[in-house]
Amino acid sequence: MTTGRRLGRPSLESVGLALLFGFAIVVGTELARPLRSASIAFDSQVAVLDFERIVAGRQIEAFLPTTPKPLLTVIFGLLHAVSGGWAAIAWATIGAYALSVVLAAVLAARLAGRIAAAFSAVAVLLSPSLLFDVGFALATPWAALGWFSAGLALTARRPRYGLAGVALLMATLARLETIVPVGFALVVLAAGSVVAARRGAVALRPARKLWITPLVALLALPVMMLHDALLTGDPFFWTTVAGRYSAATSLEVMGPAEVVTFLIGRYWIAGAVTLLALLGILRLIRERRWALVTALVGFGPGIGAFLVLLAARGIFVSERYAAGIDVAVAFASGLGLAGIAVDSKRAMPSGLLRGLGSRLSTPVMGVLATAMVAVLVVGPYWLVDPGLRSAVSRSGRLAANEERAVAVLATALQAADGARGSAGAGGLAAAVLVFAPTPIRPRLVVDLGLMIPEVAGTDARRLDVANGYPPPGSLVLHSLSGDGPSSMWTELETSERTMIDGVTVEPLLAEPAKGLWILRLVDRPVP
C-alpha cells in the first residue's frame, strides 16, 4: 500500500522543456565533443590560471591579453580544481547553454505564448555566436543565463527586482558588455524622473523599486575591482586590457565607419530574423512592457553604439563582442512571429484555411510547425558558420595533443639540471623553458605548474634554430593543430635526433600521424 501524495503526470510544457534541454545538450555536445579531450579557449584557460593565483595569494607574473571575468574565474577554477582536468569546464558550458535556451523559451512563452517560445528557443539554440562560445567553452552561455534569468524575474507576477539585479550582476562578471543595457536602464529611469518632475506629473515618475535592478547590477564593478586587485595589484586592470591588446595585435583594428558597416551587414544578412525581432520590440511597445523594451534596446542599439565608441577610441572590436546583440535579436524574433501568427489567425477566412489553422494551433503541432519554420529561417549552424565545426575540431585535437605532451614535458623539466631553479624571489623566471602554440599557453602553465614567463607562444615566422630561436636549452611543443603547417617547421618535424648548425634537436615524442612533436634543443652533441 502506498501512502502520501500521488504524483501527478508532468504537464505538456514540462515535457517539452525537458526535451528542449536534452536536444540542446545533444547540439552542444555534437559541436564541442568533450569526450576524449576538451576544446577550451585561451580566455577560459586564463580564468583557471587566475583562480589558482588568487587562491595561492599570488599575483600573475605577466600580462595575458584577455579581460578578467570573475564569474568564470570562480566557476572554471573550481571545476578544474575539483575534477583535476579541463573536460568539466566544457560540459558545464554545454549545460549552461542548454539551460539558457530553456529559459529563453519560458520567457518567450510568458510574454507571447507557445509560438514565440518555439521560435525563440530554436533561434537562440542556433545562434552562431552562442554556439561559438559553446564550442570553445567561453563566456556567452553563462552570461545568457543571467540575461534570461533577469527577464524571468522582471516578468514574474510579483516582479523580483533584486533577483533580476543579481542575475545581471553575474552576467556582467561573465560578459562586460552587459554593463551597457544596465547603464541604459539607468539613463531611461533618470530621464523619466526628470520629465515627470518638469511636468509636475507624479504618476509618470518611475517607481523607486525599478531602480533596484540596475543599481544591484552595478555592484559588478566593485567585484571586478576586487578581483583584479587580488590578481594584479591594480583594481582597474580590467579597463586597460583592451587598449593594450589593440596596440599589440596584428589583427585589423576597425574604425567607427567599418564597425557600423560590419553591424549593418551582420543583421542585414540575418534578414527575416532581424525583421521579426523589430516586430517583436514593436509588440512589446504596444503592450507597454517598458522594462523589456529598455533591455532589448540596450542589448541591441545600445551595445552597437558601444562598439562604435570603442572603435573611435582605437580599440579592437571582435565579432564576439556582438554576441549580446545576436542573442537579443534571436529571442525577440519569436515575439515578432507570435504577433504575426495572432494577426493572421484573426484574419483567417473560414473553410479549409481555418481548419488547417485549427489543427496547427494544437499545442504539439503548433510548436513543431513553428520549430521547423525557425530552422528554415535561422539555418543550421554549420551552414550559417561553415568554419565553426572545423575550428572547434582543430581546437580539440590541439587539446588532445597538449594532454599527451604534459607528462613528457614534466619529466623533461624535472630532469633539466637547475631549469626550475632559475626563478628568483621576485617570481620571474630567467628564461623561457617551454615554447608551445599560443592557444594552449595558459593551459600548459597550469598543467605544468610553471610561471607565465616560463611558457612562450611560438612564433613560426621567427623559427631559426641556428640563430637561437628557439634557443638551446628549451623544450618545444609543436602541434600542427595549433601552429599550423609551415615550411619553417620542416626541419624540426623529425622523429630522429638531428643536428642543425651545432644545435642538437632531440625528439622526446614524435607522432606525425597526430601532428605532434616534443623537442629538446641542446647546444652540444648528445651522446
| pLDDT for 353 beyond 50 | no
- Does residue 338 share a domain with residue 350? yes
Query: With contact defined as beta carbons under 8 Å apart, do 76 and 44 qualify?
Result: yes
- Listed in sequence order, the residues at least 6 apart from 312 whose beta carbon sits closer than 8 Å to its beta carbon are 255, 256
| pLDDT for 432 beyond 70 | yes
- Does residue 237 share a domain with residue 157? yes
Share of the chain above pLDDT 90, in %: 64
- Does residue 422 share a domain with residue 338? no
Query: With contact defined as beta carbons under 8 Å apart, do 287 and 90 qualify?
Result: no
Strand partners, 520: 475, 506
Cell of 423: 626563478
Distance CA 296, CA 36 (A): 39
- Does residue 422 share a domain with residue 512? yes
- Does residue 108 share a domain with residue 257? yes
What pLDDT, in 10s, does the model give residues 174-207?
Answer: 999 999 999 999 999 998 888 877 776 665 677 7
- Does residue 411 share a domain with residue 376? no
The answer to the question of residue 497 being in a domain is: yes
- Listed in sequence order, the residues at least 6 apart from 30 whose beta carbon sits closer than 8 Å to its beta carbon are none
- Does residue 348 share a domain with residue 246? yes
Strand partners, 456: 435
The answer to the question of residue 106 being in a domain is: yes
Number of domains in the chain: 2
Distance CA 29, CA 27 (A): 6
The answer to the question of residue 527 being in a domain is: no
Distance CA 425, CA 519 (A): 29
Regarding predicted confidence, which is higher, 25 or 200?
25
Cell of 383: 551552414
Task: Give the model's confidence band at 426: pLDDT under 50 very low, under 70 low, under 90 confident, else very high.
Answer: very low
Please say which residue of 352, 385, 418 terminates a domain: 385
Please say which residue of 330, 361, 385 terminates a domain: 385
Amino acid at 35: L
**DSSP, residue by residue, 216-241:** HHTTHHHHHHHHHHHHHS-TTGGGTH
The answer to the question of residue 114 being in a domain is: yes
Highest mean pLDDT among 163-167, 187-191, 389-393: 163-167
Q: Which residue has the cell 576538451?
A: 38
Amino acid at 505: V
CA atoms within 13 A on the CB side of 497: 12
Q: Of 40, 36, 22, which Cα lies nearest the Cα of 392? A: 40
Share of the chain above pLDDT 70, in %: 89
Cell of 267: 543583421
Instruction: Give the number of other CB atoms < 10 A from CB of residue 96.
Output: 23
Q: Give the mean pLDDT of 15-29.
A: 93
Q: What is the pTM of this model?
A: 0.90
Give the pLDDT score at 428.
Answer: 43
| Residue 126 dihedral angles phi and psi, to the nearest 5° | -100, 10
The answer to the question of residue 1 being in a domain is: no
Angle among Cα 14, 18, 23 to the nearest 5 degrees reads: 145
Helices (H), 56-160: 70-83, 87-112, 114-125, 128-135, 140-154
Q: Give the mean pLDDT of 374-403.
A: 85
The answer to the question of residue 6 being in a domain is: no
Task: Give the model's confidence band at 419: pLDDT under 50 very low, under 70 low, under 90 confident, else very high.
Answer: very low
Task: Give the model's confidence band at 21: pLDDT under 50 very low, under 70 low, under 90 confident, else very high.
Answer: very high
The whole domain housing 415 covers 389-522
| pLDDT for 116 beyond 70 | yes
- Does residue 424 share a domain with residue 323? no
Give the pLDDT score at 435.
Answer: 95
CA atoms within 13 A on the CB side of 216: 18
The answer to the question of residue 7 being in a domain is: no
29-58 in b/e form (b: 16+ CB < 10 A) is bebbbbeebbbbbbbbbbbbbbbbbbeeee
- Does residue 167 share a domain with residue 127? yes
Q: Give the mean pLDDT of 146-173.
A: 96
- Does residue 72 share a domain with residue 42? yes
Q: Is 516 helix (H, G, I), strand (E, B) or coil?
A: strand
| pLDDT for 8 beyond 80 | no
Give the pLDDT score at 228.
Answer: 96
What pLDDT, in 10s, does the model give residues 222-244?
Answer: 999 999 999 999 999 999 999 99
- Does residue 330 share a domain with residue 357? yes
Give the pLDDT score at 422.
Answer: 44
- Does residue 124 share a domain with residue 59? yes
The answer to the question of residue 371 being in a domain is: yes
Please say which residue of 330, 355, 385 terminates a domain: 385
